Structure 1
């Protein structure tokens, strides 16, 4: 078993540590309580059309999404008929099983590093999603795997973001590439060149927050990707969208927009401890199944860890 701060190969299935499972369950309390309110008394009743309608409404209100909720309900109805189930209690483990099966395809470890040069990981997302904080936490993750890390302060729109990343760099004793003047693409290009010269293993590149509706800024992030490829034809090796779980169904809109623009390789979902909308991961799995690489349930470095579908569903449904 391993958590964020235990060394592990990057190509094995996630196996959360007991300490992380406890933090995950505590972090999902809001989402779990909201779901339990809708499910209260439901599993003690006999199955009928109203039972399934109530369950569908509960899933939709938990931000599982309309189409994904209907998909789950259809699967449960078929299984209930096949097994001749008449009591709601017998469907609770089946619901958990269907959710786990839906979410397991989202499990994915980060890609292995390239044979030569640094592994370049580009972080994108809207303002306030937690990109810079996630970079700081992942810097510690890679340092604990004995990797040499370099940070690129590519959010050139906010001086506070640069200062925050520099503070993370000082805390972890890793170099940070910044520019007083210049755009995001130039900063990240310089960071890749510096990493190659210094024998760095991992480049974690921040970018400015942007809404998918800000078309000129979406064009700019495409430019960043093109410039990264000029610095290293194999890069970026990961493009991670950082999502604030509080945005609920809007998170799915962000996934679709950023994936269309950049071909995302993975997601980091943050702030699950401050929301009752944790069901949105199921909506993502049902409509745009981009892998979820990490979950965040708090501010501490230990509050970010690898996504496990089974652990997540266990924490969401008691």
Structure 2
């Protein structure tokens, strides 16, 4: 009898433990979404655990070891949620570009017209003497126009005021509009190079220091391209900032475009960029957008890193567009950043973010003069659709209204 009692107690204990585990196992199973593995089982990369790892939770393509093979894509937008099973992130329909431009113009009028109104008031004075011209010059410099463009504009205005004689507010406004448009330069090509080649996608690199809204800008620009019926793929090559890849993947999910990212913290950015372009070629997308790291603490290291990313990508396809993202609120400090990046890669255009948070609209002119490249896009808010192509006349009209 004494020999049987321990056995009975052990059996009872096992039954209790199993009974407690059953609900946990059921709940765990409900939170797992499985998809068929369509990879070739004979692929050495698959057998060894390398190649492409499909992230069921985000619908993104995760690359394993650098140079791994495979192009599996899971078309899903589900993200696990511990409290509610599976939460679905709906694919959004971005606003048409035309409607977005109208809304941004209205915001620019509200936030950026201090410079224009100040100039209008000064130049509409009954008598314009040297003290007034000094104030005009100061207003332009405070608006971050830059010394050389300021002198150029003041000289042009002086000459026109002499010829004009009697000045009505309407005449002054028309004069200012013409001169500011010349200064912003409507002859610059502000179109994005995003047309697919015969057998390869257009490739765009987006660069800029951390904190300017670079990854967010990539996501917003993806929305602009999707609104123009482009087939887009994102590459998360900023592998050093925590959660940068997940942030980019979330933007991609919102507009239904895939993201190639590494499942290894601190992975080689060039390898991720290479895999993104490779996937873009295989999937025949129109545009591959590559988000890059923005560390500026070590200029030499940054040059080496970005230069390597571009060289590696160009083994597969030409880099058609290199956009530099700058924060408009940094003013002239943004010019220093711009010069550093222009030494690293061939900048083809500027994205000016947070233009709604500053009255210093002159930074547009200063940056274009410093780099010799156009401002192609402007951001005027935190909303998903608050990014639009830059239009010279609309910008100047907003300054003066």
Give the TM-score normalised by structure 1. 0.87
Distance in 2 (alpha carbons) for counterparts of 1:65 and 1:269 = 16
Residue 61 (str. 1) matches residue 142 (str. 2): yes
User: Does the 8 Å CA contact 1:46/1:86 hold for their aligned counterparts?
Assistant: no
Q: 2:374 aligns with which of 288, 291, 295?
A: 291
Instruction: Give the drift of 1:42.
Output: 4.4
| Partner in structure 2 of residue 205 of structure 1 | 290
User: Does the 8 Å CA contact 2:115/2:399 hold for their aligned counterparts?
Assistant: no
| Cα 1:214/1:132, change in 2 over 3 Å | same
| Cα 1:19/1:45, change in 2 over 3 Å | farther
Instruction: Give the drift of 1:212.
Output: 7.7
Which has the larger share of helix? 1
User: Does the 8 Å CA contact 2:124/2:168 hold for their aligned counterparts?
Assistant: yes
| Cα 1:273/1:115, change in 2 over 3 Å | same
User: Does the 8 Å CA contact 2:223/2:385 hold for their aligned counterparts?
Assistant: no
Residue 147 (str. 1) matches residue 230 (str. 2): yes
| Partner in structure 2 of residue 242 of structure 1 | 325
| Partner in structure 1 of residue 104 of structure 2 | 23
User: Does the 8 Å CA contact 2:115/2:143 hold for their aligned counterparts?
Assistant: yes
| Partner in structure 2 of residue 10 of structure 1 | none
| Cα 1:213/1:283, change in 2 over 3 Å | farther
| Cα 1:292/1:160, change in 2 over 3 Å | same
SS of the residue aligned with 1:206?
A: strand
Instruction: Give the drift of 1:214.
Output: 2.6
| Cα 1:213/1:250, change in 2 over 3 Å | farther
Q: Which has the higher contact order (CA 8 A, sep 6+)?
A: 1
1:180-201 Cα shifts (integer Å, max 9, x gaps): 2321111000111111111111
Instruction: Give the drift of 1:64.
Output: 0.8
- In the TM superposition, 1:13-92 aligns within 5 A as 17=98, 20-27=101-108, 29-33=110-114, 36-37=117-118, 40-81=121-162, 83-85=163-165, 87=167, 89=169, 90-92=171-173
Residue 6 (str. 1) matches residue 96 (str. 2): yes
- In the TM superposition, 1:272-283 aligns within 5 A as 272-283=355-366
SS of the residue aligned with 1:312?
A: helix
Distance in 1 (alpha carbons) for counterparts of 2:352 and 2:219 = 15
Residue 176 (str. 1) matches residue 266 (str. 2): no
SS of the residue aligned with 1:231?
A: coil
1:43-92 Cα shifts (integer Å, max 9, x gaps): 223222222221111000111111111111112222333x2435484443
The answer for unaligned runs of 5 or more in structure 1 is 8-16
User: Does the 8 Å CA contact 2:192/2:321 hold for their aligned counterparts?
Assistant: yes
User: Does the 8 Å CA contact 2:100/2:388 hold for their aligned counterparts?
Assistant: no
The root-mean-square deviation of aligned C-alpha atoms, in Å, is 2.2
Distance in 2 (alpha carbons) for counterparts of 1:84 and 1:122 = 48
Q: 1:108 aligns with which of 160, 181, 190?
A: 190
1:263-299 Cα shifts (integer Å, max 9, x gaps): 1111111111122222200212333331111111012
